[in-house]
Amino acid sequence: MRKDARKVEEARRLRKRGLGLKEIAEAIGVSVPTASTYCKGVFPSGTVRPDPRKAQVWKQVETLYRQGMPITRIAEATGVPAPTLYDWRRQSGLKKNKRTAYVTDELRERIRRKMTVDPDGKLRKKVVGMYVNKEMTTTEIAAKLGVTSVTVGGWLKQEGIELRKSPLPRTREKLREANLGEKRYNWKGGITAERMKDRRSMYMRDARKACFERDDYTCRSCGQRGGKLNAHHVWPLQRWKEWKYEVWNLVTLCKKCHDNWHKAAGGHVKIAIGPFFQTA
């Protein structure tokens, strides 16, 4: 660091004497770009001439800049090139404005209308209908409108629509079919019993969840809330398969009551409506 500091000091001293960057680079043993960096802000003696325009407009430039006007617009107002104004700002030590100082709501709206594919917001309204009413995914909507799914998501957010946290049933069905049977990584030749397939199926999981939510995760027999719960088929699924996924055919029971109901009915294939329902 000391060696570099000495080189910087020597480079700046030589620059003030009027030496060129190439001569300075050879004198201190560095490259020309490095010498240029060392000499930044230092000009050869007698070469810097005050710009007459600066005395005339600098106060106006400084006032406008402190008010948040960008240099490009100040250049238009004063007739002084923007690169010159940038040099004046650096020479005067005027701090750079933060972006928020001149990016107004009006400027944001002007940029948005210039860059967006939906300046009037008509597509946004259409996207809401496709997403909410037609239950299309953001990917499907994007493909139909010729935009990206990120853009679709942004439009929905602007309209106050919360994105789905879980895929649609038809999307889940596509995923299920894409990983069914031999296409599944842990496929073992189809050894799972049909009754187990029914109980583990996507449709049964959805029906079971709907049943629990309807009954507030509370056993309809003893009133226990939470714990180990079962979705009991009033009309046994082994005999009435067409009703196996119907929520109206399901009752929330704790495991103990579920076992007691089937015991009272005389088996799992008998219609079990239970010894009693809690009336309180």
pLDDT single digits (tens) 24-49: 999 999 998 998 888 887 877 655 55
Q: Structural domain of residue 200, as residue ranges?
A: 194-265
* 113 and 175 fall within a common domain: yes
* 111 and 97 fall within a common domain: no
Let me know if residue 187 belongs to a domain.
no
pTM score, whole prediction: 0.41
* 64 and 20 fall within a common domain: no
Mean pLDDT, range 166-186, rounded to an integer: 78
* 167 and 111 fall within a common domain: yes
Let me know if residue 69 belongs to a domain.
yes
* 66 and 27 fall within a common domain: no
Let me know if residue 185 belongs to a domain.
no
* 31 and 13 fall within a common domain: yes
* 110 and 94 fall within a common domain: no
Let me know if residue 273 belongs to a domain.
no
Let me know if residue 171 belongs to a domain.
yes
Let me know if residue 138 belongs to a domain.
yes
Both structure tokens of 48 = 């810097």
* 211 and 256 fall within a common domain: yes
Let me know if residue 274 belongs to a domain.
no
* 201 and 149 fall within a common domain: no
Into how many domains does the chain fold? 4
* 94 and 110 fall within a common domain: no
* 217 and 252 fall within a common domain: yes
* 75 and 113 fall within a common domain: no
Q: Where are the beta strands (DSSP E) in 156-200?
A: none
- Say what the pLDDT of residue 218 is: 93
Rounded CA separation 3/6 (Å):
5
Let me know if residue 120 belongs to a domain.
yes
Task: For residue 236, give Cα distances in angstroms to 51, 229, 231, 232, 243.
Answer: 95, 17, 11, 8, 9
Answer yes or no: are the C-beta atoms of 47 and 20 closer than 8 Å: no
Answer yes or no: are the C-beta atoms of 44 and 19 closer than 8 Å: yes
Answer yes or no: are the C-beta atoms of 17 and 45 closer than 8 Å: yes
pLDDT single digits (tens) 47-106: 555 677 888 888 999 998 888 888 988 999 999 999 889 888 888 888 888 777 667 788
Binning the chain into helix, strand and coil, the percentages to the nearest 5 are 55, 5, 40
Q: Hey, how many other C-beta atoms are within 10 angstroms of the C-beta on 42?
A: 14
If one compares 107 and 279, the residue with the highest pLDDT of the two is 107
Mean pLDDT, range 257-271, rounded to an integer: 83
